[in-house]
Structure 1
Amino acid sequence: MAPIRTAFAFVVLATGLTLTGCAGDTAEDAEPESQAESSQSSVETPGADAAIDACALIGGDDIAELLGQPVAGRPIGTPEAPACTWENRDTYESVTLEIGSPNTAANGTLAPPEPGFGEVGTPGPDGMRILASGMVEFPAGGRSNTVQVAVLSLLGPDADNAAVDLARKVTSQLPQ
């Protein structure tokens, strides 16, 4: 059983690293926020022209509940398409949030799949798409965004529900 769990953890981690690696890690030298800042659950809603701090969009309490301990977010991505990842290095579990580029979800609607690629994911609530277990694409702020919850104790619908819950919390904070 342990080899299967270890293999699964590796697959989940590799998937998360692949997805976050695509965004480009331009903030390697950025200092992670302190645990006190990370555990604050209230965040300010950014203005339409303000830079978006993806790490501030998910409260520290939500991260601690999912990952089993307080974890500071690590900013990744670009100023135009910010992202953040939280990783419990003891368990290799993580949460990753990617905010898409502006105008990638016009009128609060995700773009259809590219021609020839067939359906992508399955329809979810509130105009979301479930791309994989625990990974949800959602429209917010005129952007196509994703959140991934890679936690071993959450599989299938439980992982999807956790990702949808986080997506809803992020949606309410992005300017429309």
Structure 2
Amino acid sequence: MSAAAVTEAGPVGLDIVVEAGEWADEDVLEALAARALGVAAGLSGSAPDDDTPPGPCEVALCFADDARVQDINRTHRGKDKPTNVLSFPAADMPGAPFRFLGDIILAYETVVREAAADGKTFDDHLTHLMVHGFLHLLGYDHETVAEAEEMEALETAILSRLGIADPHAAPLDETP
């Protein structure tokens, strides 16, 4: 299914595939992704090493399960375990009428498990992971402390605009 979110930076085309897992209907996922990536595109400006804004652009989102994500993670990253989100930036396509940023793949069971463990709603955690994956497609990373701080600050700003609490804030101590 394809959709578009219009942002301050331009339209973000979405190509959505539900491959496996107990995901919501595609139209629900499309609406959540359009809102999240629309705000992310508008607030992210340009990639950290690029002066070009992200829009108009297109992103492919694959909603999969842990088994599929584990297979992809093993094949492409040498890590034989599932993870919450994988991002694969696309090569530049000179002359294209839009910028295809790449693919974001999400693992249903891991998203459910992490949301429950962190006391977050599923939709809020999924939104965070879609934003996180989108920022990776733009070139943001978290390999160094400085990169992580920059990426986390941008995630926090985007999620705040979406009405979602800072996912990087320390949890409140609930002990008496």
Give the TM-score category using the shorter length: 0.3 to 0.5
TM-score using structure 1 length? 0.36
TM-score using structure 2 length? 0.36
Higher helix share: 2
